[in-house]
Amino acid sequence: MQKIGFSEQDFGAILIQYNYNLNPGDIIAGTIFHQEFEGFLVDVGVSIAGYLPLDEILLNSDNNVYNFTNLVNNTREFFILAYDKERKQLLLSIKRLDYIRAWKRIKQLESEDIILGLPIFNINKGGILTVLEGLQSFIPRSHLIIFTNYVFILKYFLPCKFLLVDEKNNKIILSHKLALLSLYSNLLKVGVFVYGQITQIKQYGIFITIYGIPALLHISEIGSKYIENIHHIFQIGNKIKVKIIHIDMKQARLSVSRRNIN
Q: Which pLDDT band holds residue 136 (cuts at 50, 70, 90)? A: very high
pLDDT at residue 21 greater than cutoff 60 = yes
pLDDT at residue 174 greater than cutoff 80 = yes
Q: Which residue has the higher pLDDT, 253 or 4?
A: 253
Q: What is the DSSP letter of 71?
A: G
As a whole number, mean pLDDT of residues 119-144 equals 88
pLDDT at residue 67 greater than cutoff 80 = no
Closest CA relative to residue 253, chosen from 168, 177, 198, 192: 177
Q: pLDDT above 90 covers what percent of the chain?
A: 35
* Helix H or strand E segment including 93: strand 89-93
pLDDT of residue 15: 44
Q: Which pLDDT band holds residue 62 (cuts at 50, 70, 90)? A: low
Instruction: Kindly tell me the sign of the dihedral angle through the C-alpha atoms of 75, 76, 77, 78.
Output: negative
Question: What is the set of domains in the chain, with CATH numbers?
Answer: 8-97 (2.40.50.140), 113-180 (2.40.50.140), 184-257 (2.40.50.140)
pLDDT of residue 6: 42
Question: Model confidence over 204-234: pLDDT tens digits?
Answer: 889 998 888 889 999 888 877 777 778 778 8
Phi, psi of 56 (to 5 degrees): -110, 25
CA geometry: angle 21, 26, 27, nearest 5 deg: 115
As a whole number, mean pLDDT of residues 156-162 equals 87
Q: Among the ranges 70-84, 91-105, 114-128, 134-148, which has the highest mean pLDDT value?
A: 91-105
Q: What is the DSSP letter of 225?
A: S
